[in-house]
Amino acid sequence: MSDWLTDTRDSYDTVAASYADHTRGLLDGLPHLRAALRLFAEEVSGPVADVGCGPGDITALLHGHGVDAFGIDLSPAMVDLARASHPGLRFEVGSMTDPLPGELGGILCWWSLIHVPDELVPVVFGHFRAALRPGGLVQLGFHVGDRTNLKTQGYGGHPMRVNVHLRPPDRVAGWLREAGFAVEARWLLGDDGAVLFARG
């Protein structure tokens, strides 16, 4: 496992419980993200991978919208939390830098691509494209900007060591198109967030 993957996995293992406490119910105050999730659920057909699922709450929300969703996360501690919190759903340890399982109807990737270096994003999008059925839907959420921050302290004050890549939506959309996706919509969330919808 490369250094950045090891650092990311170990960091989220360390903060897993605090992260789950911090993010629980976060969507209650974010109506535009709730709308994006509902739209994704309405448009997608077939099984959906929630990539970088963390403690599994978004996976569970998708399931509540009638989606056959399962979660994948790099952090074993996060996957353990997700399984304990949502015992009726499927969660597995994995990395988006590896091929995804099965023929998927959709992929949700909210604020987890932010830790992947630029040079590997096309590889990740290639895996997404290969895993999707024709016409499958991808929804990405990410921080907007044009810089990389090193995060050394995280949720609950615990130590972390992860790079957080902020990217212009045009750059991310270009990578998607190069991987064979049609970018259907871009939603800007204030000044520092974006959601992209793309179809394979």
Domains and CATH numbers, the chain: 3-199 (3.40.50.150)
Q: What is the pTM of this model?
A: 0.95
E strand or H helix that includes residue 186? strand 182-189
* pLDDT score recorded for residue 20: 87
Which tens digits make up the pLDDT trace of 22-53? 888 888 889 999 999 999 999 999 999 999 99
- Separation between Cα atoms, residue 183 and residue 155, nearest integer Å: 33
How many CA atoms are closer than 13 Å to the CA of 120, on its beta-carbon side?
A: 14
* Mean pLDDT of the chain, nearest integer: 95
What residues are paired with 138 via a beta bridge? 107, 198
The set of residues, in sequence order, having a beta carbon less than 8 Å from that of 157 and lying 6+ positions away, is: none
